């Protein structure tokens, strides 16, 4: 189910803490659209959690971003994207390739994020989840950074009828 109706060639950054539902959301779209630092860390080290592999994972991600954006293909960045410098890099790539940059803000309450994180195969330490949740920008901030559209995941899921009590996102 396509909740976003992205224009062709768009970069879509998912912005949210671990456990907020980004990967579940990304699974609604074709696999070929998704770039994910966790996947590239795992491919480089056999561990998604090995943060020492982040520079290599970022290089892989950037290569794939350029490959897709240069061809006018949609790309979904399934990482936390809570750090301003990370979002600035994504926006710079979109500008370079003259593509739209869209953000999906995972405005999920902290207790829900903590519960979802606890139920994951790879549980992220609680202090990191809380730190990333506190770092979340608001929609106005993302617009000021340069995202042409900002969608709140709560509104997308509610509008689509996909948000039901007890459903994990």
Q: How far is CA 167 from the centre of its chain?
A: 19
Give the other-Cβ count within 10 Å of 132's Cβ. Answer: 21
Confidence at residue 160, expressed as pLDDT on a 0 to 100 scale: 65
- The per-residue pLDDT of the chain, averaged, comes to 90
pLDDT at 169: 30
What pLDDT shows up at residue 134?
97
* Residue owning tokens 């009590």: 165
Residue 161 has a pLDDT of 57
Low pLDDT (below 70) residues in the chain: 1-2, 160-169
Asked whether the beta carbons of 128 and 18 are under 8 A apart, the reply is yes
């Amino acid at each position: 189910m396509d909740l976003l109706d992205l224009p062709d060639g768009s970069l879509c950054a998912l912005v949210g803490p671990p456990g907020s539902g980004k990967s579940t959301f990304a699974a609604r779209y074709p696999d070929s659209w998704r770039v994910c630092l966790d996947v590239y860390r795992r491919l480089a080290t056999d561990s998604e959690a090995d943060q020492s592999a982040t520079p290599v994972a970022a290089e892989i991600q950037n290569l794939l971003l350029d490959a897709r954006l240069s061809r006018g293909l949609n790309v979904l960045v399934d990482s936390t994207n809570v750090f301003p410098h990370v979002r600035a890099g994504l926006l710079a790539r979109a500008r370079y390739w003259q593509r739209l940059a869209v953000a999906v803000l995972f405005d999920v309450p902290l207790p829900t994020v903590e519960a979802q994180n606890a139920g994951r195969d790879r549980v992220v330490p609680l202090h990191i989840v809380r730190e990333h949740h506190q770092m979340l920008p608001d929609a106005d901030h993302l617009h000021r950074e340069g995202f042409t559209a900002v969608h709140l995941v709560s509104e997308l899921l509610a509008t689509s009828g996909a948000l039901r009590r007890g459903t994990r996102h």
